[in-house]
Chains A and B, each alone.
Chain A
């Protein structure tokens, strides 16, 4: 069975550039979460969707960050413009309907902003 698929796995970009991270959740899962992981702040929930609708985006750092889920099988997290402090590993996770609390994580996208 395919797990959560994220792309790109690694991204190196320069400050000011736009970055788009992509996620394909597990088929049939209807909740999707974006997390950011850094050494300093640990694992932070940025935003989550239920049935493609954003439910809580209180963790999104600022207006430079935006996330969309146009359909049940695809989500994007965009940073525009990117800054060095955005360097982190970004994880996407999905959960099946009826939210049991168990999350299935992708392998992450490591972002480095120079």
Chain B
């Protein structure tokens, strides 16, 4: 089965840019989504099809995908951005989530 690897945690200072990576074999040839999940809440789609932002998601959130790595970047990071972030990719007829990355803003 296809596997996606994410760092368990990323820390960033307020106002700086956070980068969360997601790695998998040939990931650049697949379509990647990113979800944000805050404690006790359902996931929220923040990036889809590698770099597209749903309506209502701030421009501070951006995505890229090339080679074996996709990256979610959050610029001008705010304390409200603290959450778990999950990448997801799909291949033929199944989808896979990465293990998740806890973003800490401090």
Instruction: Decide if A and B are genuine partners.
Output: no
